[in-house]
Chain A
């Protein structure tokens, strides 16, 4: 009963929300002036051509390039004859307007609205391209390789991708998301390589988004993910154009969102999140070793502390005698059980990690020192935790940083806590219960309806070339099978579609 009432209320609010943006469709000076009422940066300029005729320019000063306004519109209009207005501003691609809605939309995107005095309206694009310059990626740094990264300017981001893939098959489809933000969303794919079914799924998912604000790419991903309750990211979020271009070339899709320097890449698999751009820069054996190290580190970061709890709580007999002596000596004076000891340390570690992320960079170094040495050492000396646990917590924390994908590396915290509880209850079988649950969950996930745990389940042997190991690039002659590309060969070998 209460649910019904609540849903009715929400519907009512939505109706009001829609009404808020419904205005008269008549395109007149008064109506357009109404659009900029109570806007300090809304400007209206009138230019008299003759006694009977005024040209009116209406625009939002903060959204347009004011210098170009002078050069492209005001100056040409000064020397313009009565019937040549459209020709005078032709250099800036003026488009005719037919409705107030259109006028409002374009004005808010940085267009200057121009009334020629005869009731005809034009929109002249003079978008202010204010934004930061292209800088080095901070989220995914590499030593050797391209240094540029995306910015908040979506057109600039498209340029960065087009420069890398200068083919007409690289398609861009424009969408708008959020009825308040009207964020420009661009879906990119390589026609002839990307599977049309996958492109279509993405297209439908973007079109269905019905929300007021899409501020950044994660808002969009939240609506597009197949499994919203999963902790695992189903889209790769990257600010590296080289990564995106590579993914496009493999048959994936890339989604860019205006005002955010991150792109969404899909479909991805769980194992993609362990891949770094540097894998393709190193020699294949080095890259393979590093990749395996990341998998092992992820496993260690999630299971090392639960293993300690399982061993010290339930399975002392598994520990060899020499190590057992060290462990017993270390734990002999502790007032807590291994579970509480580990839980306490892991919580402290998470607090320090979270704090160091929120602090300015100079302070975070001090915080790291205080957290790592002072709290760690003090906790041991105070007799709250064992030295062995401190060592293990340190190893687990460092191991978690090896995962290149930040979103994935954060999932291990939750998994670690779940495993910790299971290990304290059921020891090794408890950890295995947890592992089976996580693997079954991963097996059930999908990214744009493509299996998330490929190439293991389902099995795609071909994709194992770029999985645990990174085979020599000349050997990787085919695109990944799990993406179902239309053209599977990466080499030019005729028409094998």
Chain B
């Protein structure tokens, strides 16, 4: 067996990767049931508003990404924050990464369970997903990020399947009213928070910066990705409103998946089974990246980042993740309820990381810059 190198770098990845990564990271699990929590047509404006806030956040993130500290990878972060602080942050990061990863795995496994194999036990699906992700991640960060393009190409067109829902026979423009809220009996804040949390993900680019070409116009590509994501959110929400209507939308589980079930095709029925299967590309890619980030975070917090990566160490981390996900599935995961306790944890943690990490890091960069110039 040859050397087991996970974090080497032979080439820098270009704009396509940045756009694909940022966009796909904003189209993960929450989007599949987001319309249920948005429910009312005026939430369209909420999506737009959060999209603008996300754009401002991405502006801050792009500033961080172009900072001389972040571009140096681990060494830069150590210079910026200090080794001790960095180890503490990395240790805390393990929890955030694990929460995100476990939600994606459990969420996807539940969808497969609910829509494709009701008789199959959830742990089998979890095992298969982690095995596949481990294989992809074991090829190293560079190849895993490259796989992102394959995942993007295999899934981005799924949005086109929703086009027929804009022209259902019974739909009318009235279904989109009221665009401005007239009564506040429906509490939209959870939905709005979910949009924000769902848009989180691009902040992980901070961890991938050594593999990206830092000379590029980050803000431009992040803005393109964000705009595409917001457009997709709007399209999916509009489609759901037309198809289910706002009254029924709040009662249906996974409306974005359920809607596809009714797609008419001369060759296949129940197209959602095929769509869910293909979504695996997307989820497995992200789990692989998160596995590598988790392994890296564990190495930093253990202070072994300068040692070579080992097969044993990496597989041990993957086994721990597997055990952890099994544990959460047994004790904290409630099937049949999209926003269960664990999903709620990710809802807040995702919103927290997306809001605070870029801002805090930029602040730290400015303070450090000011300190060094004095």
A334 contacts across to B, CB distance below 8 A: none
Residues of A within 8 A of B277 (CB): 428-429, 431-432
Interface residue? B147 (CB, 8 A)? yes
Cα distance, A459 to B150, chains bound together (Å): 10
Q: Is A314 located at the chain interface by the 8 A CB criterion?
A: yes
* A447-482 at interface with B (beta carbon < 8 Å): 451, 453, 456-459, 461
By the criterion CB–CB under 8 Å, are A320 and B135 in contact?
no
From A429, A432, A433, A443, contact of B139 by CB (8 A): A443
Question: Could you tell me the distance between the alpha carbons of A457 and B149 in the complex, rounded to whole angstroms?
Answer: 6
A427 to B112, CA, bound (A): 11
**Cα(A336)–Cα(B146), bound, Å:** 42
Q: Shortest distance in angstroms between A315's beta carbon and chain B's nearest beta carbon? A: 6
Give which listed residue, A429, A432, A440, contacts B135 with CB less than 8 A: A440
Residues of A within 8 A of B13 (CB): 458
User: A237 vs B68: C-alpha distance in the bound complex, in angstroms?
Assistant: 47
With CB as the reference atom, state the residue of chain B lying closest to A322.
Answer: B266
Which residue in A429, A431, A440, A456 is a CB contact (below 8 Å) of B153? A456
Minimum distance in angstroms from A49 CB to a CB of chain B? 63
Q: When A428-B274, A432-B281 are in contact, do A319 and B149 touch as well, CB less than 8 Å? A: no
The residues of B that contact A167 with a CB separation of less than 8 Å are none
Whole-angstrom CA separation of A440 from B280 in the bound complex: 13
| B157 at the A interface (CB under 8 A) | no
Within B75-117, the residues touching A (CB, 8 Å) are 112, 116-117
CB closest chain-A residue, reference B268? A318
Residue pair B266, A456 in contact (C-beta under 8 Å): no
- B130 → chain A closest CB, angstroms: 12
With an 8 A cutoff between CB atoms, is B269 at the interface?
yes
B132 touches A436 (CB 8 A): yes
- One digit per residue, 1 when the CB lies within 8 angstroms of any chain B CB and 0 when it does not, for chain A 409-452 equals 00000000000000000111101110011011001100000010
A363: interface (CB < 8 Å) = no
Q: Does B160 contact A (CB under 8 A)?
A: no
Which of A314, A433, A436, A458 is within 8 Å of B11, CB to CB? A458
* B14, B274, B277, most chain A CB atoms within 10 A: B277
CA distance A439 to B132 in the complex (A): 11
Pairwise interchain contact B128-A457, C-beta atoms closer than 8 A: no
Residues of B within 8 A of A318 (CB): 268-271, 273-274
Contacts of B278 in A (CB 8 A): 432
Chain A residue with the shortest CB-CB distance to B10: A449
B256 at the interface (CB under 8 A from A): no
Query: A444's contact among B117, B125, B128, B143, by CB below 8 Å, is which?
Result: B143
CB distance from A138 to the nearest CB of B (A): 36
**Cβ of A459 and Cβ of B270 under 8 Å apart?**
no
A319 in contact with B143 (CB, 8 Å): no
A320 adjacent to B266 (CB under 8 Å) = yes
Q: Is A168 an interface residue (CB 8 A)?
A: no
In chain B, what residue has the closest Cβ to A449? B10
Decide if A320 touches B273 in the complex (CB within 8 Å): no
Q: Name the one of A428, A432, A457, A461 contacting B146, with C-beta atoms under 8 angstroms.
A: A457
- Residue in A431, A453, A456, A458 with the greatest tally of chain B CB atoms within 10 Å: A458
Q: Which of these, B116, B271, B284, contacts A436 with CB under 8 Å? A: B284
Contact status A320-B139, CB under 8 Å:
no
A319 in contact with B269 given A443-B150, A458-B11 (CB within 8 Å)? yes
Specify the chain B residue showing the minimal Cβ separation from A444.
Answer: B139
Q: Please, which residues of chain B bring their CB within 8 A of the CB of A7?
A: none
Q: How far is the CA of A459 from the CA of B152 in the complex (A)?
A: 12
Chain B residues with CB under 8 A of A451: 146
Closest to B266 in A: A320
Residue-wise, chain B 16-48 has the 8 Å CB interface mask toward A (1 for contact) of 110000000000000000000000000000000
Asked if residues A426 and B281 are in contact (CB atoms below 8 Å), the reply is no
B116 touches A459 (CB 8 A): no
The docked-state distance in angstroms from the alpha carbon of A461 to that of B150 is 14
Closest to B288 in A: A440
Contact of B128 among A427, A433, A459 (CB under 8 A): A433
Beta-carbon contact of A426 and B128 below 8 Å: yes
State the total of A-B contacts with C-beta under 8 angstroms.
87
Residues of A within 8 A of B14 (CB): 459
Q: Report if A361 contacts B (CB, 8 A).
A: no
- Is the CB–CB distance between A315 and B270 below 8 Å? yes
Alpha-carbon distance between A458 and B212 when the two chains are bound, in angstroms: 12
Report A-chain residues with C-beta under 8 Å of the C-beta of B11: 458
Residue of B nearest to A443 (CB): B147
Cα-based distance from A320 to B11 in the complex (angstroms): 48
CB proximity of A461 to chain B, nearest CB, Å: 8
State A432–B281 Cα separation when bound (angstroms).
Answer: 8
- A314 close to B117 (CB less than 8 A): yes
Check A315 against B147 for contact (C-beta < 8 Å): no
Residues from 275 to 294 in B contacting A, C-beta threshold 8 Å:
276-278, 280-281, 284
Question: Which residues on the A side are within 8 Å of B146 (C-beta)?
Answer: 443, 451, 453, 457-458
Asked whether A317 is an interface residue with its Cβ less than 8 Å from the other chain, the reply is yes
B149–A459 contact, CB under 8 A? yes
Is the beta-carbon distance between A436 and B280 smaller than 8 angstroms? yes
- What is the bound-complex CA distance between A318 and B116, given in angstroms? 11
Selected from A428, A433, A436, the residue in CB contact (under 8 A) with B273 is A428
Q: Tell whether, in the assembled complex, residue A456 and residue B132 are in contact, meaning their CB atoms are under 8 Å apart.
A: no
* B-chain residues with CB within 8 Å of residue A443 when the two chains form the complex: 139, 143, 146-147, 150
Which among A320, A428, A453, A456 has the highest number of chain B CB atoms within 10 Å?
Answer: A428
In the bound complex, what is the Cα–Cα distance between A437 and B128 (angstroms)?
11
Provide the bound-state CA to CA distance between A429 and B273, in Å. 9
Q: Does B374 contact A (CB under 8 A)?
A: no
Nearest chain B CB to A437 CB, angstrom units: 7
State whether A457 and B150 are in contact (beta carbons under 8 Å apart), knowing that A432-B280, A436-B281 are contacts in the complex.
yes
Question: Does B136 count as interface, using CB distance less than 8 angstroms?
Answer: yes
Nearest to B261 among chain A residues (CB) is A317
Alpha-carbon gap, A428 to B125, bound state (A):
13
Shortest C-beta distance, A441 to chain B (Å), equals: 8
Contact of A457 among B116, B117, B125, B147 (CB under 8 A): B147
Collect the chain B residues with CB atoms within 8 Å of residue A427's CB: 116-117, 273
Question: For chain B residues 115-156, which have a beta carbon within 8 Å of chain A?
Answer: 116-117, 125, 128, 132, 135-136, 139, 143, 146-147, 149-150, 153
Question: Do B147 and A440 touch across chains, with their CB atoms under 8 A apart?
Answer: yes
- Of B11, B125, B128, B143, chain A has the most CB atoms within 10 Å of the CB of B143
Q: Roughly how many angstroms separate A431 CA and B274 CA in the complex, as a whole number?
A: 10
Q: Which of B333-367 contact A (CB under 8 A)?
A: none
Contacts of B125 in A (CB 8 A): 429
Residues of A within 8 A of B17 (CB): 459
Cβ-defined contact, A439 with B280, below 8 A: no
Q: Tell me the residues in window 218-274 of chain B with beta carbons closer than 8 Å to chain A beta carbons.
A: 265-271, 273-274
Contact B280 A320 (CB under 8 A): no
| Smallest CB separation, B151 vs chain A (Å) | 8
The residue in chain B whose Cβ has the minimal distance to the Cβ of A320 is B269
Sample of 10 A–B contacts (CB below 8 Å): A318-B268, A318-B270, A318-B271, A429-B112, A437-B132, A443-B147, A456-B149, A457-B146, A457-B149, A459-B14
Known: A426-B128, A433-B280, A456-B150. 16 other contacts (CB 8 A): A315-B273, A318-B270, A318-B271, A319-B269, A320-B265, A320-B268, A427-B116, A429-B112, A429-B116, A429-B128, A429-B280, A432-B277, A436-B132, A436-B280, A444-B143, A456-B149
Binding site for B on A (CB under 8 A): 314-315, 317-320, 426-429, 431-433, 436-437, 439-440, 443-444, 451, 453, 456-459, 461
Nearest 9 A/B pairs, CB to CB: A457-B146, A428-B277, A432-B277, A444-B139, A459-B16, A440-B136, A457-B149, A429-B277, A318-B270
